[in-house]
Chains A and B, each alone.
Chain A
């Protein structure tokens, strides 16, 4: 595949996930008063940070000779990201539900 295409795709992925991490951090800081919400935001941050790794590995697959290993890192990063986002959503739902009942 064309390396330029890989770098563009990878660049978009890295920049947007890094921006997402920044905005999650802003949101987390804004909800400092609600301690129950700290965990979901943190988990969401981890999830998106894993997406940064997955996006970075796209460009690595273009330049690295260890194509198979990079692919393994890619899929692992995607799965870990999905896991963290899932956990973030579960805890967020719990946190908001408890807050409502409280």
Chain B
């Protein structure tokens, strides 16, 4: 009876030991996987949270709010935007050459453009996270896509997030969306409205290049008439410079509209050229008044 009792205790202990041997590795593996989840989960959560927060700021068209998520040396690649001219007028094809933004000022310009075209972006599916890299799918609408009746388009985003800041982010449309966009743009470019608008733009730019060019020629002719008054040389030269900067400003518009150079690059130079022409013409006229009226008084 005693022996059988001891035997059953031994069998019970062996059973417990065997059970322990079987369960312990799984418990250890489980704990280690639990701890690895515990280390990764907040990181994954924060990366996705950053993207969600960025999405909220983009949809609210809050440029400063969205810019705060980017690191100082961040870069953006976004070939999905279409440059619009005339508000609801001309549309340009997306150009990969002008789709990279590599400084905070350029990223601000990009965000301002997105706000201007009333961007709406929405994440779809579950983001994939590998280390600091996040890949996700999204759908996007903007005024250009809405006007072409193809909104929303679907694409893929890739981001590298270090800490709480975005180091790199890119947006690419998927093949079907690119196909839809190209087809819609091709159809739009054949519409009478587009052709009329395009003709007006070409006409304006051509006149804008010819007028100042011819005007400079006539300024030199008038300057020659006053060759006997050397003091009048300077005003005519300044007037010529003013006309030259008008020519440059129209040339910049041509580069923006027809060569696909980014408005973020062109617009400040255009504004500067217009202001310079005003300053130049003003200086010319003031000098002219001084010389001509001075001469008259003499």
Question: What sequence of 0s and 1s flags, for each residue 10-50 of chain A, a beta carbon within 8 Å of any chain B beta carbon?
Answer: 10111011011001101100100000000000001000100
By a CB distance below 8 angstroms, the chain B residues around A12 are 275, 278-279
Give which listed residue, A20, A55, A78, A93, contacts B285 with CB less than 8 A. Answer: A20
By a CB distance below 8 angstroms, the chain A residues around B292 are 27, 30
A9, A17, A55, A82, most chain B CB atoms within 10 A = A82
A-contacting 9-mer, from B26-34, B95-103, B162-170, B213-221:
B213-221
Q: Number of contact residues on B: which range applies?
A: 35 or more
Q: Number of contact residues on A: which range applies?
A: 35 or more
Question: What sequence of 0s and 1s flags, for each residue 91-131 of chain B, a beta carbon within 8 Å of any chain A beta carbon?
Answer: 00000000000000000010010001000000000000000
Is the Cβ of B250 less than 8 Å from the Cβ of A79? yes
Give which listed residue, A20, A58, A75, A100, contacts B250 with CB less than 8 A. Answer: A75
B6 to chain A, nearest CB (A): 90
| Residues of A participating in the B interface, judged by any CB pair closer than 8 Å | 1, 5-6, 9-10, 12-14, 16-17, 19-20, 23-24, 26-27, 30, 44, 48, 51-52, 54-55, 58, 61, 65-69, 71-72, 74-76, 78-79, 81-83, 85-86, 89-90, 92-93, 96-97, 100
Q: Which 10 A-B pairs have the closest CB atoms?
A: A68-B87, A82-B211, A89-B218, A86-B215, A20-B282, A13-B275, A16-B282, A79-B208, A17-B278, A23-B285
30 intermolecular pairs with C-beta atoms under 8 Å apart: A1-B264, A9-B272, A9-B275, A12-B279, A16-B282, A20-B281, A27-B285, A27-B293, A44-B285, A51-B274, A52-B278, A55-B275, A58-B274, A65-B116, A68-B86, A68-B88, A74-B274, A75-B204, A78-B208, A79-B204, A79-B208, A79-B250, A82-B246, A83-B207, A85-B243, A89-B222, A90-B218, A93-B221, A93-B222, A97-B225
Q: A9-B272, A68-B89 are in contact. List 18 more A-B contacts (CB 8 A).
A: A10-B271, A13-B271, A19-B286, A20-B284, A27-B285, A27-B289, A44-B285, A51-B277, A55-B278, A68-B84, A75-B253, A81-B246, A82-B246, A85-B246, A86-B214, A86-B218, A89-B219, A100-B225
